[in-house]
Structure 1
Amino acid sequence: MAKWDNMLAILWMLRSRRKMTAAEIADALEISVRTVYRYMDALCACGVPIISDAGHDGGFRLPEHFNADVPLLLSASELKAIVEAAKFAEGAGYPHTADLQRALGKIRQRMNEAQRGELQRLTGSLEVIAPAQGPSLADRLRRLEEAAQAGCTVRVTYQKESGEVSERKLDPHGLAYRNHHWYAVAYCHQAGELRTFRVDRMTDLRETEERFARPERFSAAEFFRVQTDERREADGPIVRICLEGDAESLDAVCRHWHLQHMVTDRGDGEVCLEMDEPTMDKYMPVYLMTFGTRLRVVRPERLKRQVTERARRIMEFHADLTDSGCQERPLEWK
């Protein structure tokens, strides 16, 4: 039985009996007496007011006024993970931040002073700096989430990246946070298919009287992955691509909307992807050229030659411009 399971078992035993000795607890849990004393110290550190009576009739017990609720049996590292995860959620514009903060407040109320001090020490060095999300976006996210759960069709005014504005009737299936933006995956009545919509480009969201049946176990993340697979150029042999470079450039590859689902390994100074050969031939040489000398192709040789050939053509093109009288400038990759 795990440590925390044993601690809970000890707590329940003390609640159900007036008093128990360390030997009785050890026999019940099939652990050593020494381990029982260690668990007792851990329970006290978590705020459980265990009373230890010495002598012939001694043992461990709980006070008469002990709260029947189970105390907070979380380690310092577990509390740290919860608090810091909340910081990331808030930075991403999580629409239920108020509920999240209330839940954290309840956790802190169950902590003793020593735990609060330790938590402050452990979490004080991590902050999440993210673009401010207006209250209107949080409201839109909440309403879209509620519409998805209730199967309620909505009307929105939507602005495309090109600036074109149109009114859409949508059946929202789910929400996803990706590359610092919130997306709604919804069935578009105008297009007659499932599509993704940036939530920050929606305005004038209105519920309708229409209802729809949301697919069971729908996953917005899975929909994004399938979209990526469908954008492949053609069926072809799967190629393993390995790239070397600085951390910032490798991070950019891993975050790329089209490539992130193809990443198989991310090591120290290297990232590996798997994709079909036609897609690699069409997109990767052009994409990799944008990094200059910050990324290098380790394999396959086919992609190495394609990037080298493009670099050669660019060099020859600029050499022709210099020969024709244009002012010569050194080519620098940043």
Structure 2
Amino acid sequence: MRASRLLSVLLLLQDRGRMTAQQLADELEVSVRTVYRDMEALAAAGVPLYADPGHDGGYRLVHGYRTRLTGLTHEEAEALSLAGLPGPAADLGLGSVLATAQLKLMAALPNELRDRTGVLRQRFHLDTAGWYARTEPTPHLAAVVDAVWHQQRIRIRYRRWKAPQEVTRTLEPYGLVLKAGRWYLVASHSDSVRTYRISQILRIRILEDHFDRPHDFDLAAHWGSYLEEFDARRYQGEAVVRLSPHIMEQLPDFMEPAVVRAAHDTAGPPRPDGRVQVVIPIESVEHVAGMLLRLGTEAEVLAPTELRALIAKTVAALAHIYGASAGPA
């Protein structure tokens, strides 16, 4: 652990130039006293360090000195695949490994590329969580990650939406997917590949026995097929809706991608008032009614009749409530 930290100190000074003991302590998440001891150890090992006193002082390397200890370990090389996802990397237990790998990479770059990389890192940031949604607690994620890496079977107690809600499953974990800030496990159960939401795992036990992951299994391709099948299972009906030009433009802010895509694919010629008739997939009359009510007078349901009737009934009930409580003007 200390050897890794000393290397990190050396790479930080090489990459950033002069740094104070407090800056190093904050970067490495250690105490200032630990930084002092590390500096003494580096100086004793022959590293040409200078300590500049004063308020603007700090530690720096002799001008022109560069370490060549920039080779990546297997763990660091793997962590670089998550270089744009520091949050998820930390979720997977690779936060410190990723930081060390990035330092080594920066140290190996020529000066002009290193400077440009530093600027890019300050200009662009990827946030994977969805709007208006909190990050889900995933207390068992680390155990799942360990099982995925080592190809060990797991036994989980899982909460699902249908009865019985709590079930026990023995799984062969193939991989993990981060979708809109939520972690999912793709695993084999009873000779079929299924998807499990990590936050819904109540208990987990890593079993002693290992399994052979299919050599031709492609996680990204499987996930793409899963999403298509998921939409096909969900959308069991269709609705014919007349939408205003304004809502057609704003539809991605209100509806899911599959609904938006269907609306644009089926849009007919504009009417004299600019409205267009579209056909959209629906899960159920009750579910889509709530979404369409959000569009107000910008949308008119033409079919099915039960959906049109439900929206009319809801609007009438709202008019009764607000009309009765409005009072004198």
Give the TM-score, by structure 2 length: 0.50
Give the TM-score, by structure 1 length: 0.49
